Amino acid sequence: MKPSFSRYRGRFAPSPTGPLHAGSLVAALASWLDARAHQGTWLVRMEDVDTPRCSRAAAQNILAQLSACGLLSDEPVLWQSSRESAYASAVQSLLNTNAAYACRCSRSDIARYWAASGTTLGRHQDTVYPGTCRHLHLQFQPGLALRFKVGQTVVHWQDRRLGAQQQHVGASVGDFVLKRSDGLWAYQLAVVVDDAAQGITHVVRGEDLADNTPRQILLQQALGLPSYIYMHTPLVLGENAEKLSKQNGAQSLDTRTPELTLQALNAAARVLDLPAAQADDCASALAFWVNAWRERWPQAQSAQPLNSTP
Ligand code: GLU
């Protein structure tokens, strides 16, 4: 299904595990600018499925920080913690079509499997699921995880910034988790179900998520959902040259005064390769960047054809 220009719908989907920082503002600003440059709708979705790590206070703080920047959701914020039944019905349909299966392996079972296999593994390959439970037909019940059957598919996709991409999902991650053994819904499932439910046409988010895209494309295909146009934005690196993140102690965005907020937006715009705004307030700066964004990124009107080669 081809999203059409007139119904552009984009989103910013933070996980409320802490405040916005300079890195997450880049993704927020880019997705907002792209929506405005397409005269589209911009939504904020709170990805609070990982309930032990998320908090309402952090979510409210993020919304206040966004609001200080002038980035306001065009529709009410969708909270993933309220979407249990939508996720349950998506996994039921995957179970019905034999695209998902119950799994009793723990992380250490998987690591032990690879240690015993004698296979020479690349970085992170000891977390690739080897498919141990794929043919066991275990009854899905509390305490077991649910995995998506990936197969030997190479997913090809086009990123507006990164260009042509491909991933052999089976070799890179293997059958991935849809529901964790502790009962929490996995990000991959929730994001796919909600992007479709919200009618999203364009996904603009940080480059750290680019390698999740092929998994999400496979899930979209299995659930009969439309595909989107993707753009992954540059990351802000910390002193150790690692991506700035809450885990490595990124500073909360300082939005205590309009001047500080404008400074933060200017820094995010620089990362996005946009010119400095000669503006005294956030609203004028944003209006300036919408035009600059339009010149920098041609309008993306329809999804690239997706190829999956088995
Ligand atoms: N909730 C994810 C995060 O904060 C982003 C999800 C997405 O944009 O697809 O990293």
What backbone phi and psi angles, to 5 degrees, belong to 163? 85, -155
pLDDT, averaged in runs of 10, over the chain (310 residues): 64 96 96 96 97 95 97 98 97 96 93 84 81 94 96 93 96 96 97 97 96 97 94 86 71 92 96 94 97 89 48
Ligand 1 closest atom vs CA 206: 8
For residue 152, which of 167, 134, 137 has the smallest C-alpha distance? Answer: 167
**Which of helix, strand or coil describes residue 264?**
helix
Say yes or no: CB of residue 191 within 6 Å of ligand 1.
yes
Say yes or no: CB of residue 47 within 6 Å of ligand 1.
yes
**Which of helix, strand or coil describes residue 288?**
helix
Say yes or no: CB of residue 50 within 6 Å of ligand 1.
no
What's the token pair of residue 160?
A: 């507006």
pLDDT of residue 242: 74
Ligand 1 closest atom vs CA 205: 8
The number of C-alpha atoms within 13 Å of 2 and in the hemisphere containing its C-beta is: 8
Say yes or no: CB of residue 28 within 6 Å of ligand 1.
no
**Which of helix, strand or coil describes residue 203?**
strand
CATH of 9-309, one of 3.40.190.80, 2.40.50.140, 3.40.50.620, 3.40.50.800: 3.40.50.620
pTM listed for this prediction = 0.92
Say yes or no: CB of residue 15 within 6 Å of ligand 1.
yes
The number of C-alpha atoms within 13 Å of 225 and in the hemisphere containing its C-beta is: 24
Separation CA 19–CA 63 (nearest Å) = 9
Task: Assess contact for 14 and 20: CB atoms under 8 A.
Answer: yes
The number of C-alpha atoms within 13 Å of 256 and in the hemisphere containing its C-beta is: 2
173 CA to centre of ligand 1 in angstroms: 18
113 CA to centre of ligand 1 in angstroms: 30
121 CA to centre of ligand 1 in angstroms: 28
Ligand 1 closest atom vs CA 208: 10
Number of other residues whose CB lies within 10 A of the CB of residue 282:
20
Say yes or no: CB of residue 146 within 6 Å of ligand 1.
no
What's the token pair of residue 27?
A: 């993704």
Separation CA 9–CA 309 (nearest Å) = 29
pLDDT tens-place string over residues 52-88: 999 999 999 999 999 999 999 999 999 999 999 999 9
pLDDT tens-place string over residues 175-199: 999 999 999 999 999 999 999 999 9
Say yes or no: CB of residue 65 within 6 Å of ligand 1.
no
For a mutational test of ligand 1's pocket, the pick from 47, 188, 203, 215, i.e. the residue with the most ligand atoms closer than 8 A to its C-beta, is 47
Which one-letter amino acid corresponds to residue 178? Answer: L
115 CA to centre of ligand 1 in angstroms: 32
List Cβ neighbours of 244 (8 Å cut-off, separation of 6 or more): 21, 22, 23, 235, 236, 237, 238, 250
